[in-house]
Amino acid sequence: MTAFDVRPITEEERRSTFDVLRRALHTQRVTDERWARVGESWPAAHKFGAFEGSSPIGIVSSYDTELAVPGGRTLPVAAVEGVGVRPDRTRRGVLTAMMAAQLADFAARGMPLAVLHASEPTIYGRFGYGSAALGKTLRVARPAARLHERVAAGGEVRLLSPEEAVKEIPGLYRRIGLHRPGMIGRPEQWWPISHDRPVVDGEHLVAVHSGPDGDDGFVVYATVSRRRFEAPDDGAVLDVHDLHAANPRARAALWRYLLSVDLVSGVHARFRPVDEPLALMLTDHRHAATLAVEDDLWLRPVDVAAALAGRTYGTAGPVVLAVTDRQLTANTGHYEVGPDGARRTDAAADLALDVDTLGMLYLGHWSATTLAEAGRVDVRDPAAPGRADELFTTRTAPWCGTHF
Ligand SMILES: CC(=O)SCCNC(=O)CCNC(=O)[C@H](O)C(C)(C)COP(=O)(O)OP(=O)(O)OC[C@H]1O[C@@H](n2cnc3c(N)ncnc32)[C@H](O)[C@@H]1OP(=O)(O)O
């Protein structure tokens, strides 16, 4: 087996490492024309490559942004993306070595948290990431589905030209704000790859809602034709990629718009919040089917003390957590969590868990009771899971809503 080194990539290695990623994800090598448009979104900063001599065989990437945590604050976060190993070099520890370098870098820079979306759920638990927020896939039947008359959906929806969309949507996303735990900031480098290219190429359309205080919601969607020789009357499907609204009225108006488009047989939306009440907003809730509920955001506490101190908690007696972290061993220790915050302690533990399970608890989706039943939390005080449920779970389901 050939030896490899892991190190930060240089400016000159940006494109060759991007190609390694594309090979790992089964996409074509990047063309000159495409690189000219997306290259700036693949800066050398915060990337670790694995190299055999000067040839890249693996890459892990991240960018710094902010994450909304329970209680309304945002914390600095490393958003991990662009992970891949050349197909002929997998299962020999390349990712493990790159993850170790990346985690050490996050810790050295004082990052409290890291997040990612996992291509496969088996990959990241071993590196301390836990599935922290879920998303549901909806299929809404057209033309049957209609918003119930009691649903307030005022204001106006207008389609933007690609030029308007590229200019206006980043500011609108910022103004709407990170209003759910799990939402993240979208730095400048996120937009060209994830939003602008499909909008400029015409693959996606962008509609904006205006309410009494101006623009307050948007939807980015693709129109996928279903018409076939043997089914000439099949309508198109609207595929919703990105839908954000500052208030329920704007959200309802955007859905009303999507359900009003002619020659459409269905509206599909993946990774919507699990508690988005779309079905309940329809005259017949069966017209919105939940096809799947999947893991959305994975979270890793990098500095456990700072992460725990950064969010708020519900009202219950405190619990002492014994946390084990096999990579960032300085995190291993006991932490008291109560209504007035969290801190390290020498007190005996009520619950013991690995750091990936703490990642699952952190945003408030999973309860300690469920995690204990699943064997992920070792219960030392039988009353502690109930207290931890009151402290950690949130009223609003956490949701990321940004593909990265
Ligand atoms: C955040 C994101 O960007 S998600 C995108 C992730 N990238 C992809 O899915 C692209 C395709 N896959 C790949 O490039 C590679 O298979 C990677 C990056 C997932 C894994 O890289 P590798 O170098 O093979 O991982 P490495 O050899 O360090 O594996 C460490 C352990 O994880 C296991 N593992 C790693 N990937 C997988 C997988 N996809 N399925 C099952 N087990 C896996 C290995 O078997 C190994 O287990 P062990 O310690 O018990 O022996």
pLDDT at 232: 67
Burial of 101 (0-12, 13-18, 19+ CB in 10 A): middle
What's the rounded Cα separation, in Å, for the pair 129 and 401?
Answer: 18
Residue 1 Cβ inside 6 Å of ligand 1? The answer reads: no
Nearest CA to ligand 1 atom 43: 123
Number of neighbouring beta carbons within 10 Å of residue 285: 14
- Catalytic, 257? Answer no
pLDDT of 193 strictly over 90: no
Q: Where are the alpha helices (DSSP H) in 210-313?
A: 248-260, 304-310
- Catalytic, 404? Answer yes
Residues of the chain with pLDDT > 90, as a percent, come to: 91
Peptide bond into 143 cis (omega under 30): yes
Do the domains 303-392 and 5-116 match in fold? no
State whether residue 364 is helix, strand or coil: coil
Task: Compute the distance from residue 113 Cα to the ligand 1 centre, in Å.
Answer: 21
What's the rounded Cα separation, in Å, for the pair 180 and 18?
Answer: 32
Domain spans in the chain, listed from the N-terminal domain onward: 5-116, 136-297, 303-392
Q: Which residues pair with 333 in a beta bridge?
A: 323
Q: What is the DSSP string of 320-361?
A: EEEEE-SSSGGG-EEEEEETTEEEEE-SPPSEEEEHHHHHHH
pLDDT band for position 231 (cuts 50, 70, 90)? confident
As a dihedral over the C-alpha atoms of residue 272, residue 117, residue 330, residue 367, rounded to 10 degrees, the angle is 30
pLDDT at 234: 80
Task: Compute the distance from residue 122 Cα to the ligand 1 centre, in Å.
Answer: 8
Q: Which atom of ligand 1 is nearest to the CA of 87?
A: 14
**CATH class of the domain at 303-392:** alpha beta
Task: Compute the distance from residue 117 Cα to the ligand 1 centre, in Å.
Answer: 14
pLDDT band for position 152 (cuts 50, 70, 90)? confident
Burial of 395 (0-12, 13-18, 19+ CB in 10 A): exposed
For a pocket test of ligand 1, which of 95, 129, 131 has the largest count of ligand atoms closer than 8 A to its C-beta? 95
Nearest CA to ligand 1 atom 35: 123
Nearest CA to ligand 1 atom 25: 95
Nearest CA among 17, 66, 25 for reference residue 43:
17
Task: Compute the distance from residue 84 Cα to the ligand 1 centre, in Å.
Answer: 8
pLDDT at 37: 82
Residue 150 Cβ inside 6 Å of ligand 1? The answer reads: no
In the chain, what is the straight-line distance between the N-terminal and C-terminal CA atoms, in Å? 33
pLDDT at 238: 97
pLDDT of 83 strictly over 80: yes
Amino acid, res. 230: E
- Tokens standing for 317? 């007696």
Question: Which tens digit of pLDDT belongs to each residue from 336-362?
Answer: 999 999 999 999 999 999 999 999 999
For a pocket test of ligand 1, which of 23, 80, 85, 326 has the largest count of ligand atoms closer than 8 A to its C-beta? 85
Residue 248 contacts residue 257 (beta carbons within 8 Å): no
Helix or strand (DSSP H, E) at 50: strand 47-52
Amino acid, res. 392: F
pLDDT at 269: 98
pLDDT band for position 224 (cuts 50, 70, 90)? very high
Helix or strand (DSSP H, E) at 245: strand 236-245
What's the rounded Cα separation, in Å, for the pair 174 and 360?
Answer: 27
pLDDT at 371: 98
pLDDT of 2 strictly over 70: yes
Q: Is residue 95 part of an annotated ligand binding site? A: yes
Instruction: Return the half-sphere exposure (C-beta side, CA atoms, 13 A cut-off) of residue 140.
Output: 30
What's the rounded Cα separation, in Å, for the pair 249 and 86?
Answer: 47
- Tokens standing for 9? 């990539």
More confident residue, 228 or 90: 90
Residue 298 contacts residue 131 (beta carbons within 8 Å): yes
What's the rounded Cα separation, in Å, for the pair 24 and 38?
Answer: 18
Q: Give the strand pairing for 113-116 and 74-85.
A: parallel
Q: What's the whole-number mean pLDDT along residues 102-129? A: 98
What's the rounded Cα separation, in Å, for the pair 343 and 338?
Answer: 9
For a pocket test of ligand 1, which of 123, 356, 403 has the largest count of ligand atoms closer than 8 A to its C-beta? 123
Residue 82 Cβ inside 6 Å of ligand 1? The answer reads: yes
Question: Which tens digit of pLDDT belongs to each residue from 233-249?
Answer: 788 999 999 999 999 99
- Tokens standing for 263? 């020659």
Residue 85 Cβ inside 6 Å of ligand 1? The answer reads: yes
Sign of CA dihedral 172, 177, 179, 184: positive
> Per the residue annotation, which of 18, 106, 124, 257 is the catalytic one?
124
Q: Is residue 91 part of an annotated ligand binding site? A: yes
**Domain 5-116 fold:** Aminopeptidase (3.40.630)
pLDDT at 205: 97
More confident residue, 161 or 196: 161
Long-range contacts of 209-212 (CB under 8 A, 24+ apart): 209/155, 209/156, 209/157, 209/245, 209/250, 209/253, 209/254, 209/257, 210/155, 210/156, 210/157, 210/158, 211/154, 211/155, 211/247, 211/249, 211/250, 211/253, 212/155
State the CATH architecture for 136-297.
Answer: 3-Layer(aba) Sandwich (3.40)
pLDDT at 225: 86
pLDDT of 149 strictly over 80: yes
Residue 129 contacts residue 118 (beta carbons within 8 Å): yes
pLDDT of 123 strictly over 70: yes
Residue 24 Cβ inside 6 Å of ligand 1? The answer reads: yes
pLDDT of 256 strictly over 70: yes
Report the chain's mean pLDDT, rounded to a whole number.
96
What's the rounded Cα separation, in Å, for the pair 101 and 327?
Answer: 10
pLDDT of 251 strictly over 90: yes
Task: Compute the distance from residue 96 Cα to the ligand 1 centre, in Å.
Answer: 8
Task: Compute the distance from residue 374 Cα to the ligand 1 centre, in Å.
Answer: 24
Q: Which residues pair with 147 in a beta bridge?
A: 282
Q: What's the whole-number mean pLDDT along residues 147-174? A: 95
CA 194 to chain CA mean position, Å: 13
Q: Which residue has the tokens 């725990």?
A: 308
